[in-house]
Structure 1
Amino acid sequence: MPRIGLWGIVVLPVTGMIGLFHWALGTFHLSPWLIVFQALAEVLLAVAVFYFVFIRGEKKEREKEHHYWDKQLADHKQLLEYLPLAVLFVDRQGTIMHMNNLAREIADIKDNVKNIYQNPHGAEDPLELLKKTLESKQVFQEYDYTCRLVGESKYYRLNTSLIQDEDGQPLGALLTGFNISEQFLLEEQLSQRGKLAMIGELAAGTAHEIRNPLTSVRGLVQILGQRLDKNDSAQEYIKMMLSEIDHINYIIKELLLLARRTSPNLSFISLPALLDDALLLLEGQANSKGIFVYKEYSNELPLVVLDEDQMKQVFINLSTNAIHAMPDGGELVVSAEYVQQEESIVVKFKDTGIGIAKENISRIFHPFFTTRPEGTGLGLPVSYQIVDNHGGKLMVESISGSGSTFIIKIPLVNRENIKAS
């Protein structure tokens, strides 16, 4: 016996009822109530036709699409999960058909979210790119995206594309992304080296031309001060001029440090002892501002081959910056640990200060960039240069209003400097 289905069960009897009502009304002139029943039957027929033609048709179309997705992904889901590549498939309605863990991390999709339109996101987030691809068929190629996680930032290159069936009909969209953090940081480091080298060459060529006449000016101002009476009100101006001249000399000295890419004066140094010396110099300044300094490092750390004076200057610069970032008091945590696999020491200066604005993060190592009126903007570039000369890296993690963490990663032995020396 042929299968009638839901169409035959609903539509055919209703159609028969309407025909019967028409025949009965025309033949027997029955009660007007039959006219009401006839109208209801016609409405029921219209609803049934709408359901089968539109809703059920759309449902079958979606089932067909999902069957296509299941068929395409059946043999590849496990492979996609272990690829070092973020993969996110969605259908035409934005329903997530497949997503590996890396894609979930990048797009910050919650566990209970089944559709990308349900997940809150910003204007530059990966899901926004996927939405634009779905809605306006706009495809993104090599879109660089910064994924800010707790305690670190990762950099990804994203791509989107439309997915179509064999007939060219749209089925959904695809987002892929791969990690370019190492490449990005290397490019940043090379760019920073180039900028510092350019500033250094400029400084080396002009520093002596400025310093020589400045020394003469300072001497003449001192002589003028000696000739004036000690109680003369002009003595205040003399002190101010000498102070400003010394400030200029300090800037020239910092600029010359940028110009020096010679090998450091290396020796075996106890890093904990060096940190203790640097923090001791700033203890009074920290106490006066209500800042508590915590040391989280062991005296058992292995010795490091470095230039003691230069690295001490780096520690002082970073600690000073942390103190300035906490005008109302706070905490500075200085930690150091040995990473045996990489034969390196990682030193962190973590404060609870005002943090660094997002738009300034990429500029803080640029010469002369500062947000403090009294700052020179040379402390961090010089520190970067010193760490780089030791074969290390100086990095920062910060959120505006939530403090900053400066990270120094330095090898126990910089073999390049040993060869050079």
Structure 2
Amino acid sequence: MLYVKDILLQLLFALTPFVLYTIYYRDKAENYSKQFITITCMICLFMSMTFPASVQKGIIFDVRYVIMFFGMVYGGITTGVVLLVEFLIYRLLIGGQGIFSAVIILSITFSLSALLSILYRRCSEYRKLVTFIAGISFSLIPIGTMLATEYHYTIQNLNFNILVMPVQNSLGIWILISLFNKAVSDKELYLRYLQSEKSETIAHVAASLAHEVRNPLTAVMGFLKLLKDDSITKEKSQKYIDICLEEIKRTEVILSEYLSIAKPNHSMVEKIELVQQIYAIIDIITPYANMNNVTLEIQHLEDQLYVSANPTEIKQLFINFIKNAIEACAVLPSGNVNICIERQSKFAKIAIIDNGVGMSIEQMDRLGSIYFSTKSKGTGLGLTLSYQLIRSMNGDVTVRSKSGEGTQFILTLPLFD
């Protein structure tokens, strides 16, 4: 039973990178980074060496080989070197008679890990075989080295050496690599669908935007033709020029806001004035509403409400909610979407109300779940990302709806202190 406890504890440490990845990247629209792999592996290595499996003082066994291989597979050689330095420093501090054997074993396994990690990344069809070879190798190399350097100890504790090391190394590598690879693959699939959803939204808005931009350009062209007439007065000429400049300026503002949403997202967070931001989004989405015969209205009691957010993300968030509200009203002869903004203590409350088709209780319960959508051609990922973003800002979403009676989304966001 003592061996089982040691093995389970080491397997727990081996799974630490997978657990931290699942927690940290759950609500992020990005995948893991090499810095994340390095830091989590360093934590895992420190914990496993602090609470090792051992039957004799100074000779310790842990999942260092599992962590080293995992770190090189997903973090590269640089991560492996960092872990090697950490191990050497900490092992010297721990001390004991097993230092010499540990350095020899790690020298061999480090080189083997570097080779196998390269094969793992380059030969995707042989990944299971590479993982199997790594598990067996990291079980046999320590036993063989200990027989050569600590023969009497190895023979005296033969049961421990042939049970604990092979099980925790082979099983640790297989579980960690399998679970982490599955989680990363699922995340990549999610991000691809997310990008597809965003591109579709931008395409819809762009189609209506092109129509809306054409109107002021047509007006500008008409006034420019009038300016060619020598008979008009100077006052009229100046008036026509002012109108042209205003139309061009309005077109420039709409296009700038659209491009700020279409360009790649960055993790920058800054102080944002919410009312102004929503008005800018209304300018972008109004052409899409017009195409669907939907009227957009906005009401607010205060002119300035500041929140801390990523500018691109919060624009995409409101576009997702307003676009969904417009599409819910598109089947009606007189659709209407009303946006109400107000302050509630330390929070900004944004209510997006439509008179569209509404939703059932079952549909409302599943809102925000991945791949669920009330639209026949939707993936639901736009709304999923919006829910995740609001939660990451310590905000909240409330939904009120009835089939055939419209829907009310109430977004609550903490104000910038």
TM-score, L = length of structure 2: 0.38
Q: Hey, which of these two has a bigger chunk of helix by percent?
A: 2
Q: Hey, which of these two has a bigger chunk of strand by percent?
A: 1
State which structure, 1 or 2, has the greater radius of gyration over its C-alpha atoms. 1
TM-score, L = length of structure 1: 0.38
Q: Which has the higher contact order (CA 8 A, sep 6+)?
A: 2
